[in-house]
Amino acid sequence: MLPTQPSGTTGMARRLDPNVMYVACRWPYDNGVPKEMLRNQNLKAGVRNPRTGKAIAAFPADWGPHEEETGRAADLSPALADALGLTTDDEVEVAYPVETE
Whether the predicted pLDDT of 101 surpasses 90: no
The domain of 61 spans 18-98
Tell me whether residue 9 is in a domain. no
Tell me, yes or no, whether 8 lies in a domain: no
86: domain CATH number?
A: 2.40.40.10
Cβ contact 58:23 at 8 Å: yes
Q: Are the CB atoms for 46 and 55 separated by under 8 Å? A: yes
| Residue, of 97 and 101, whose pLDDT is higher | 97
Instruction: Quote the number of domains for the chain.
Output: 1
pLDDT at 94: 94
What residues contact residue 77 under an 8 Å CB cut-off, 6+ apart?
Answer: 16, 17, 18, 19, 20, 21, 22, 23, 58, 61
In a domain, 10, yes or no: no
pLDDT in tens, 34-91: 888 888 888 999 999 999 999 999 999 877 776 777 788 888 999 999 999 999 889 9
Does 2 fall in a domain? no
Mean pLDDT, residues 11-39 taken together: 79
Asked if residue 3 belongs to a domain, the reply is no
State the pLDDT at residue 80: 97
Residue 7 lies in a domain: no
**Is there a domain that residue 67 lies in?**
yes
| 68, part of any domain | yes
- Looking at residue 82, what is its pLDDT? 97
More confident site: 24 or 53: 53
The mean per-residue pLDDT over the stretch 23-38 comes to: 84
